[in-house]
Amino acid sequence: MNKPFRLAVKAVILDEQSRCLVIRRSHVNQHFVGAWEWPGGKVDAGEDFASATLRETLEETSLKIEITGLAGVTQFEMSTVYVVLLCMEARLTGGELKLSEEHDAFAWMPLGELSGQALPAQVRDLMLDYAKRKGTQP
Amino acid sequence: MNKPFRLAVKAVILDEQSRCLVIRRSHVNQHFVGAWEWPGGKVDAGEDFASATLRETLEETSLKIEITGLAGVTQFEMSTVYVVLLCMEARLTGGELKLSEEHDAFAWMPLGELSGQALPAQVRDLMLDYAKRKGTQP
C-alpha cells in the first residue's frame, strides 16, 4: 500500500471537426501493442504537468501544441507506483507529424469512433467517457 | 487565451466513518470567507503533486497524511492563470489538528452533509459529485 503516486499526462489534440489525434503503439512497447492512444507520458522530476504535456507530444509526434482545457483524469496501479493520469485538451500550433519508434501509425479519429478501437485497458474508460461527454457519437 | 495552466491539489482526508475533514476559510482570505474546503493549495515550481498535497495539508492543519487514491479533478479560470485542481483521497498518519490563520474552524463532515454547506464556488460541483459517487448521502 505504500507505493508512491506519480503523475502522467496525455494530450487530447482536437481539430476543427472534433477529431482527436491517436497514435498506435508499436512492437517496441512491452504492453498494449497495436492499441491506439493519445500522445503523452510521465511527468519528469521537477517538471510541471503542462511542460510535460508539450514535451511528450513533441517527442512522440514532432507536433507543437497549446493546452486549451481539461479532458479528464484516471488512476491505475503499476508494479512499483500508482499513476494519476491527467488528460488535457490541446490544439495544434505547429510542426509536421512524425512518429517516434514507439508508435507505427496515426489517425485523426472522430471521438465517436474510439469505442470500436483497441485502446489501452488503463485509459479505455476515460477515453470513452470523454467521447460520450463531448457528445460526438456517430 | 494564452494564460498558463497551473496545478493545485486538495486532500480529501477520510476517517473510518467516511467523514472528510473540511476547514473553514477565515477573514484573512480575499474570497469565499466562511466557505468549507478540503486542505490544499498550489503546487510549487519543481514540486511534485504528491509532495504538495502533504505539504499544504501540514501547513494548513498540522496533520500528516498519506495519499490513498484519486478523488477527482476540475478546472477553473483565475485572473492570470487557469488552474487544474487535482483532489486526492488520503488518510491520517499523525499530527494534532491545528489550523493556520487561513482557517478558523474544522469539522469531520459526513460526505452527505457537504451539500448543505457554503462551499467555494469553483470546487463545489466536484465536492458534491464526489459525495454522490461515494454513495454516502444521509
Report pLDDT for B21. Answer: 98
| Rounded Cα–Cα distance for residues B12 and A85 (Å) | 18
Report pLDDT for B138. Answer: 45
Chain B's closest residue to A82, CA to CA, is B69
Report pLDDT for A2. Answer: 78
Q: Does A69 touch chain B (CB under 8 A)?
A: yes
Report pLDDT for B85. Answer: 98
Give B43's contacts in chain A (Cβ within 8 Å): 48
Provide the strand spans (E) within A5-128: 5-13, 19-25, 36-37, 40-42, 64-77, 82-94, 103-110
Query: In this structure, is the dihedral angle defined by the CA atoms of residues A82, A3, A30 and A39, taken in order, positive or negative?
Result: positive
Chain B's closest residue to A90, CA to CA, is B5
Interface contact flag, A43 B48, Cβ < 8 Å: yes
In chain A, which residues have pLDDT < 70?
1, 136-138
Q: What distance in Å separates residue A107's CA from the closest CA in chain B? A: 27
| Rounded Cα–Cα distance for residues B30 and B22 (Å) | 19
Give B68's contacts in chain A (Cβ within 8 Å): 1
Q: Cell numbers of B55, please?
A: 505539504
Question: Would you kindly state where each structural domain of chain A is located, as residue ranges?
Answer: 5-133
| Rounded Cα–Cα distance for residues A99 and A97 (Å) | 7
Q: Are B13 and B63 in contact (CB under 8 A)?
A: yes
User: Per CATH, which fold does A5-133 belong to?
Assistant: Nucleoside Triphosphate Pyrophosphohydrolase (3.90.79)
Report pLDDT for A136. Answer: 53
Chain A's closest residue to B5, CA to CA, is A50
Length of chain A counted residue by residue: 138
ipTM: 0.92
| Rounded Cα–Cα distance for residues B17 and B51 (Å) | 26
Cell numbers 494564452: residue: B2
Q: Does A52 touch chain B (CB under 8 A)?
A: no
A57 Cβ neighbours under 8 A, 6+ residues apart: A11, A13, A39, A40, A63, A64, A65, A90
pLDDT, one tens digit for every residue, chain B (138 residues): 579 999 999 999 999 999 999 999 999 999 999 999 999 999 999 999 999 999 999 999 999 999 999 999 999 999 999 999 999 999 999 999 999 999 999 999 999 999 999 999 999 999 999 999 987 544
Q: Cell numbers of A89, please?
A: 485538451
